[in-house]
């Protein structure tokens, strides 16, 4: 097994750790966190310190790292942590839960998390650092751009394009062929039946744009 260090010891880490544990691919050597007490255990794995220790973790031979801080509408911390880890030299793999069902000719970028009981159908592209959370469905030929988070149970129908850093809330449905712009937030339980511009907050059935997300 390859050694991996996790960055962030909150709620999202719980989801990712369970997926890593379900496969014999990576051995977790510890978790860095900005606030948690060193020595605290998260599902059996120790908080080993704050991010400045990551250089020494890399120098000790750990080549893999994963950002286990999530995002709900603001991806700036995940972006900052990705660039910090790459500067040190870490490789960020995709963590794909073994219960997920991934179709043919699907492309998955670096640092992506695909959680439990998800489906990603043929010819979809999942961009770097995207989160496809528990039970989400990404139908065929979708493009989910970098840092975008598809929340638990969301259904993204075929040929949908969702641009960078957008958040689609839990249990939302996006019908086929729709384009959603970058840096937008679709509230939980929304029904998206036409294109959504960039940098807006929208929710409802059918959704309405309620404000800018600048």
Question: What element of type H or E holds 192?
Answer: strand 191-192
Cis peptide before 206 (omega within 30 of 0): yes
Q: Name the segment binding ligand JB3 (CB under 6 A); options: 55-63, 70-78, 137-145, 176-184.
A: 70-78
Q: CB 199: neighbour CB atoms within 10 A?
A: 14
Residue from 75, 133, 148, 163 in contact with ligand JB3 (CB under 6 A) = 133
Q: CB 140: neighbour CB atoms within 10 A?
A: 18
Q: Name the segment binding ligand JB3 (CB under 6 A); options: 12-20, 90-98, 99-107, 177-185.
A: 12-20
Q: Is 11 in the site for ligand JB3 (CB under 6 A)?
A: yes
Q: Is 187 in the site for ligand JB3 (CB under 6 A)?
A: no
Residue from 26, 30, 32, 173 in contact with ligand JB3 (CB under 6 A) = 32
Q: Is 38 in the site for ligand JB3 (CB under 6 A)?
A: no
Least Cβ distance, residue 26 to ligand JB3 (angstroms): 18
**Helices marked H in 54-211 — which ranges?**
54-59, 76-88
Asked if residue 214 lies in contact with residue 185, where contact means CB atoms within 8 angstroms, the answer is: no
Convert 46-60 to b/e letters by CB count within 10 Å (16 or more is b). Answer: bbbbebeebeebbee
Catalogue the active-site residues.
140
Residues that bind ligand JB3 (CB under 6 A): 7-13, 15, 32-36, 51, 69-70, 72, 77, 133, 152
């Amino acid at each position: 097994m390859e050694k991996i260090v996790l960055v962030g010891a909150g709620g999202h880490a719980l989801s990712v750790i369970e997926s890593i544990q379900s496969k014999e691919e990576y051995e977790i050597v510890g978790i860095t966190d900005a606030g948690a007490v060193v020595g605290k255990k998260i599902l059996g794995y120790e908080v080993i310190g704050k991010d400045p220790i990551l250089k020494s973790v890399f120098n000790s031979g750990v080549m893999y790292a994963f950002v286990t801080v999530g995002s709900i509408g603001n991806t700036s911390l995940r972006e900052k942590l990705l660039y910090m880890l790459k500067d040190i030299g870490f490789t960020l793999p995709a963590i794909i839960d073994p219960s997920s069902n991934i179709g043919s000719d699907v492309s998955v970028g670096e640092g992506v998390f695909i959680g439990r009981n998800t489906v990603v159908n043929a010819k979809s592209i999942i961009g770097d650092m995207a989160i496809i959370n528990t039970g989400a469905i990404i139908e065929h030929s979708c493009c989910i751009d970098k840092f975008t988070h598809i929340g638990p149970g969301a259904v993204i129908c075929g040929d949908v394009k969702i641009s960078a850093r957008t958040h689609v809330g839990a249990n939302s449905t996006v019908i086929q062929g729709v384009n959603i712009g970058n840096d937008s937030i679709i509230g939980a339980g929304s029904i998206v039946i036409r294109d959504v511009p960039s940098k807006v907050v929208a929710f409802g059935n059918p959704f309405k744009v309620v404000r800018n997300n600048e």
